Amino acid sequence: MERKKRRFTAEQKVGYVRRHLVEKVVLSDLCDEAGIQPSQYYRWQKALFENGEAALADKRGQKARDRQIAELEAKLATKNEVMSELLEAHVALKKVLG
């Protein structure tokens, strides 16, 4: 008998964790309903708690970080252009000097 791998969406996973933690649904009943092992539920719960701060992060801080990343990328592009020009000049000089 072959088992098909089931995929749960993020909303489904959060829904199961919420039902257990908020609605106090017994974990064994929840796992039977979803057709999962309790260890799978605990992995979902761990992932939710570890990544929960991203959902609660201040959006203004994210915008400032995105702006800083854009500035650094522009600076890196300028550096790459300068390095490219210097290498071209170096190769040309080596050709002249032999």
pLDDT band at 3 (very low <50, low <70, confident <90, very high): low
Q: What is the pLDDT of residue 1?
A: 59
Per-residue pLDDT tens digits for 9-54: 989 999 999 999 999 999 999 999 999 999 999 999 999 998 887 7
Average pLDDT, the chain: 89
Q: Hey, what are 97's tokens?
A: 């000097």
pLDDT at residue 65, rounded to an integer:
85
